[in-house]
Each structure stands twice: as C-alpha cells, then as structure tokens.
Amino acid sequence: MPVHNADIAAIFNDIADLLEIEAANPFRVRAYRNAARQLQTLAEDVGGMLARGEDLTRLPGIGKDLAAKIREIVETGRCHALEQLRRDLPPTLTELLHLPGIGPKRVHALYHELDIQTPAQLYRAARDGRLCELPGFGEKTELKLLDALEAHLATTRRFKLATARQYAEPLRDHLAGTPGVGEAVIAGSYRRRRDTVGDLDILVTTDDAAAVMARFRDYDELDRVQSLGTTRASVLLKCGLQVDLRVVARENYGAALHYFTGGKAHNIAMRTLARERGLKVNEYGVFQGVRRIAGDTEESVFRALGLAWIPPELRENQGEIQAAAAGTLPTLVSLGDLRGDLHAHTTATDGHAGLEAMAAAARARGLEYLAITEHSRRLTMAHGLDARRLREQGMDIDRLNAKLKGITLLKGIEVDILDDGSLDLPDTALAELDLVVAAVHSRFNLSREAQTRRILKVLAHPLVSILAHPSGRLIDQRDPYDVDMPHVIRAARQRGCFLELNAHPERLDLLDTHCRLAKEEGVLVAISSDAHSEADFDNLDYGIGQARRGWLEAGDVLNSRSLAEVRRLLKRTERA
C-alpha cells in the first residue's frame, strides 16, 4: 500500500508525543516535530523521491537518522522506533495530549497514578472526582476537562485540508485512469476549500459504471466497504477517511457537481429559489414539470435559475445567491494575483534554509518580493533575534539585495506581543525595518477584555505594520483565543495597518468570516506563507482558498500590489 507524507508525519508526531511523555531530550522531540511539520505540507511525495533515488537529507530538518526511518516506513509500512515506544507505553496516551490543559507531565501522572490510558477513561475519572487526588489537578481543572472531553468524545474526526489532499487526489487520479472515464472530480467541502474535511465526495462520468466500481473496490488503501451499488459506493480508507463515490451520466454531470459541492444551507436555498420560479433542482438536473431544462454543466444550472455561476468556495448560503442574482459576485483573488510574501523565516531562527535559498524559492514561484520576518528574542526555543542580531541580518539582506535579480528582500521581524501589549524589541531596532509583524505567542487564555486590550495597544503602536495570525488558532490543537475581532478590525482600519491571513494549513488564520469583515471595513489582508523552508511557499495556495471563502478580491489583498505600492502603504502606516 502506498505510504503518504501525512502517514509518515503522523508516525513522527506519535513518536514525539511518546518521547515527551517519557521526558526524553527536548531536542530529540523537536527534531521529530519539525520533520512531521515539513512532511505535512511537502507537495512532493517522499515515496516517489525514494523511488527516483533522491537523497532525503536535502529536505529541511531531515538528517540521516530520520531519512532512514522514512525509508523504513515507505518500504515496510512500519517504524521500529515507534513500535518500541508503544511496547513501553500504551499508544492511546497520545490522544490525551490533544486535550486542553493536558501536557506530557500530566499524562505521565494520569497513567502512572490512575492507569488512565484513553479519553473515555479520563472522562470517567473526572466525572467521579478522582483527578483531585493528583498534584496539579484542582476542581477547576477537573470541570474544564469534563467540558473538553464531552466535546472531544462527541466530535466526528475531520482531516485538515492539506492532509485530506494527500489521500483525495491520488484516489481521484486512480479512478480517472479507468478506461472510458470522462470527468473525475472531488466535490463537497474539499472543493469548497473548508479548512477541515469530514469525508470525500467523488463524482465520475463514464459509460461503464461497473468498471469504475471494480477499480474503486480494489483500491489498495481501502479498509472497509460500507456499501456498494451499481452507481454509488461508500468506503472507509485505512487512514479513517470516508469516501462516497457517485458515477453519473455525462448529461447530469453539472447538476450532480452542484448538488454534491454546495453546503447544506446553500443547497436548501437553491431548491427554495427553484420552487419560487416553478422549477425543481436536484442532482439530475433542473426540471420544469417533467421536462429537464438544464444540468449538463454547473453554469447551466445557475443560468436556469437566473443566476451567475457561483464559485465553489462561496456556496455556504452567506449571501452568494443574492449576489449572483444581482450580478455583484466578487472576482475572487487567485494565486496568480500574489506578487509577494510578507512573512517568512530562515536559519537565523527556526527556518530550514538561508536568505539566498528562500529568495530563490520565492522567485521561482513568480514572487517579486519577500519579507524576512524572524522571531524575536522572547521565543528562545526558536532562537529569536535580539536587536544586535536583527541589525546584522538587516545588513546581510542589504548585501544580498545588491546582487539579487528578479526579487527584493524586505527587512522585517515577527515580534512577540508581550502580556501587557508592549513589544519584545525596542523601537530603535524596529524603526530600521521595512515592516513589523506583531504576533501573540503566549497567554492565549486571557479574558476577552484583557486580550482585546492587549492587541488594541499593539495596533496603536506607530511601528506595527501587520497583525500576524490574528485569532491564534491551531486547527484541531488550539481554539482561537477570546478577542473582540470586530473591534480589532476597526482599530486596524482607523490606524491604517493590516491583518495577516496566515496560509499555513494548520492555521488558516484569519478565519473566513473575519476576512469578509476586514473587506467590509476596508482593511487590507496580507496572505502570507509563514514559510520556514523553500517548500513552504506552496502554503500560499491554502491561504488563497481561505481568502476566497472570505470573499476577498485581489484589491483586498496587500501583497497583490507592486513592491513600490507596498512600500508606500507600509510607510503610510508608520506615519499614521
């Protein structure tokens, strides 16, 4: 069975989790975490690289030991190091680490003192009041855990978009290779570019449904067939992802694609609109009585209802139908609109490539400028820069710009916002930069009032250009912190500074709803990769998907502008 990058990343994260519970060397733990992070977003499949005889140690954060483990996993589907750890500790302990307030030390105590190995066991212990027996577990902790566990145990597993892509597209390509297949497309929340995907809907057009069904049933990553008919099937992949397949007639393709793409509320609204106009719309077409009047293409479905074609990302019943009727749909931003990237790291802090390599990688993707924004000194784990090292890097950037062709590096910093809303570096150091990206990296649990006050103070600082990953969320790992985002967005408008849409697939932050609010308030959004390696510039595509869900057009995006215009806007921010 093929092994995907996401499978290897999951193994490395499990190793890191178990090592943390065992209180292993933190540098060893971080090596596995960094490797997993790289693999989760790496566009190229490492199995294919190995088949071509490529050296995996050229990848960021992959040394000889990790490269050997990757080869072992690809060739055998197993990892001896993980199996050894699982012999020492129950593998289910890693699930406990995903609960709020539960770190490795607490997991160690839960296991050794109360023999708790699973979230369900932890729930029963918290419900019975047994956690108070352990040091560091008070009554408030117990109550918070109960709430978190109830939510965790009730939630259906969802896959981050970047992870789902590693399974979805090979399967789509596998089905597309069936003789006689016309279209093979992934619909549903995947096509709408939701930040997480619960299952996959795949549509295929063919005159030989039996051949497609046979090829689907024999897919080597299939775990269980839940149902299998002549034109419909539902299966579970070995990774846990459910896939629903529909084989449709070519003349019904557009209607089926619309039906299986739209969110539930969008589809209900479309059916309601059709009834109001004396029509019926379903997965087979648009009907006037018994006469079918549209359905071969999506455009024909919308046209039959008097609407312009609605981009998939907008199909959530958030005003897109009314805009389509009025001819006011936005021309959504595309990857080709981006002319620069305003958030990237190098080996000076926790990146995996130097200045020149990052510049070359950005230029290869058609970018004209790249802001180098290392972490500031408070992030000691990331080797954050102090004022002296920041100034030295600025001189390195000046020297490199003198010989670079086709791209310009901007001098920046991702400076920590301290607990009181002040910045981690002095103004004298920040004033020498082209831009200052301010970020919250701590104290996520402040009250709404305190968190909002903290961020508003930063936005009032005359040297701050961009607020990074404004909600602080990590998908499936950390909820957004509690902050009055409308107030924050209005403050950014009044000050004339900008908000980041961090394109890393674990963040996708701004949320789509806040992108739309920023657009309405006239606040420009910077779609930034947060690249830590050359491959991470591919993250920009995920940011584009999130921006499109937020109704953003090229004119709403700061880095869709030329370098000269971006410099002018950044200077205007400083003057404000």
Q: Which helix (H) or strand (E) holds 393?
A: helix 387-401
- Output the pTM of the full model: 0.81
> Where residue 549 sits, what CATH number does that domain have?
3.20.20.140
Q: Are residues 25 and 48 in the same domain?
A: yes
573 closest CA partner among 516, 519, 503, 526 = 526
Give the pLDDT of residue 403.
Answer: 96
Instruction: Determine, yes or no, domain membership for 175.
Output: yes
Torsions phi, psi for 460 (to 5 deg): -80, -10
Q: Are residues 167 and 129 in the same domain?
A: no
When pLDDT is cut at 50, 70 and 90, the band that residue 574 belongs to is: low
Question: For the segment 460-493, what is each residue's pLDDT rounded down to a tens digit?
Answer: 999 999 999 999 999 988 889 999 999 999 999 9
> Where residue 214 sits, what CATH number does that domain have?
3.30.460.10
Q: How far apart are CA 62 and CA 36, in angstroms?
A: 10
Q: Are residues 274 and 240 in the same domain?
A: no
Burial 352-388 (b: 16+ CB within 10 A, else e): bbebebbbebbbeeebbbbbbbbbbbbbeebebbebe
At which of 329, 344, 372 does a domain end? 329
Give the pLDDT of residue 309.
Answer: 98
Q: Are residues 227 and 314 in the same domain?
A: no
Mapping DSSP onto H, E and C, the string for 499-563 reads EEEECCCCCCECCHHHHHHHHHHCCCEEEECCECCHHHHHHHHHHHHHHHHCCCEHHHEHHHCCH
Instruction: Name the residue with higher pLDDT: 17 or 43.
Output: 17
When pLDDT is cut at 50, 70 and 90, the band that residue 286 belongs to is: very high
Instruction: Determine, yes or no, domain membership for 130.
Output: yes
> Where residue 311 sits, what CATH number does that domain have?
3.30.210.10
What three-state secondary structure class fits 414?
strand
β-pairing verdict for 222-228 and 408-416: unpaired
Instruction: Determine, yes or no, domain membership for 255.
Output: no
What three-state secondary structure class fits 279?
coil
161 closest CA partner among 485, 517, 556, 512 = 512
Find the range with the poorest average confidence among 81-95, 316-330, 467-481.
Answer: 81-95
Q: Are residues 558 and 422 in the same domain?
A: yes
Q: What count of other Cβ atoms lies within 10 Å of the Cβ of residue 19?
A: 21
> Where residue 89 sits, what CATH number does that domain have?
1.10.150.110
Give the pLDDT of residue 452.
Answer: 96
When pLDDT is cut at 50, 70 and 90, the band that residue 235 belongs to is: very high
When pLDDT is cut at 50, 70 and 90, the band that residue 37 belongs to is: confident
Q: Are residues 314 and 342 in the same domain?
A: no
Instruction: Determine, yes or no, domain membership for 112.
Output: yes
Host domain of residue 194: 156-248
Q: Are residues 437 and 526 in the same domain?
A: yes
At which of 89, 121, 154 does a domain end? 154
Q: Are residues 137 and 25 in the same domain?
A: yes
Q: Are residues 307 and 347 in the same domain?
A: no
Instruction: Determine, yes or no, domain membership for 378.
Output: yes
Q: Are residues 423 and 567 in the same domain?
A: yes
All residues at 6 or more sequence positions from 11 whose CB lies less than 8 Å from its CB, including other chains: 73, 79, 82
197 closest CA partner among 126, 273, 261 = 261
267 closest CA partner among 190, 373, 334, 189 = 189
Instruction: Determine, yes or no, domain membership for 322.
Output: yes
**Number of domains forming the structure of the chain:** 4
What percent of the chain stands above pLDDT 90? 73
111 closest CA partner among 91, 138, 129, 127 = 91
Instruction: Determine, yes or no, domain membership for 507.
Output: yes
Instruction: Determine, yes or no, domain membership for 127.
Output: yes
β-pairing verdict for 369-375 and 408-416: parallel
| Mean pLDDT along residues 529-535 | 95
Q: Are residues 186 and 317 in the same domain?
A: no
- Residue 351 C-alpha from the chain's centroid: 19
When pLDDT is cut at 50, 70 and 90, the band that residue 231 belongs to is: very high
Q: Are residues 184 and 149 in the same domain?
A: no
What percent of the chain stands above pLDDT 70? 98
Three-point CA angle 184, 188, 194, nearest 5°: 125
At which of 273, 295, 329 does a domain end? 329
Question: For the segment 90-148, what is each residue's pLDDT rounded down to a tens digit?
Answer: 767 877 887 877 888 888 888 888 888 878 788 878 877 788 778 778 777 777 888 87
DSSP annotation string for 211-228: HHHHHHHT-TTEEEEEEE
Give the pLDDT of residue 133.
Answer: 74
β-pairing verdict for 280-282 and 285-288: antiparallel
Judged against a pLDDT cut of 70, whether residue 1 lies above it is answered with: no
